């Protein structure tokens, strides 16, 4: 760990990802609470149904981002120091490149998954801005793209 990182200093990238995750969780919970209290007497409320689906898909993604630990995150550095102390090696002699410790990763597949996630988010946003039928025609395919992009991105790690 001679790269100048200290386990007591927070990693700004990890902190940013954790804040985004917390915001997603909070937004999903607020959406569920507000939607459960809404009184719309207009027959079938497709908008409310799709808002619940969006909130239910945002909460797990937010929790995953909330628990994310970057390669220079404080908890990860502390855990690696403990593991190396148990093995009896010093951190300077046991240092390996980050790519060797993270295992194989399929970068093109991750890019495809991220593209699907972004496309699904755009479709969901377009459907939310349109009428309830817009949510049906744009939101449902957007939700499918979000779920498939999430699965592809996670499987490529």
Of the candidates 98, 97, 106, 101, the one whose C-alpha atom is nearest the C-alpha of residue 154 is 106
What's the pLDDT tens digit per position in 81-121?
888 888 876 555 445 554 444 556 677 888 888 888 888 88
* Domain-wise residue ranges, the chain: 1-101, 104-157
Reported pTM: 0.50
Tell me the two tokens of residue 25.
């969780």
What's the pLDDT tens digit per position in 142-157?
888 888 888 887 777 6
């Amino acid at each position: 760990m001679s790269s100048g990182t200290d386990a007591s200093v927070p990693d700004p990238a990890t902190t940013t990802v954790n804040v985004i995750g917390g915001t997603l969780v909070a937004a999903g919970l607020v959406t569920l609470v507000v939607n459960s209290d809404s009184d719309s007497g207009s027959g079938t409320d497709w908008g409310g149904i799709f808002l619940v689906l969006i909130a239910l898909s945002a909460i797990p993604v937010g929790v995953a981002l909330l628990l994310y630990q970057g390669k220079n995150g404080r908890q990860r550095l502390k855990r690696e120091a403990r593991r190396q102390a148990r093995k009896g090696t010093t951190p300077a002699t046991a240092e390996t490149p980050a790519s060797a410790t993270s295992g194989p990763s399929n970068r093109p597949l991750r890019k495809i998954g991220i593209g699907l996630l972004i496309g699904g988010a755009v479709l969901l946003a377009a459907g939310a801005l349109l009428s309830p039928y817009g949510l049906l025609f744009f939101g449902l395919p957007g939700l499918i793209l979000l779920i498939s992009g999430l699965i592809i991105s996670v499987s490529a790690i």
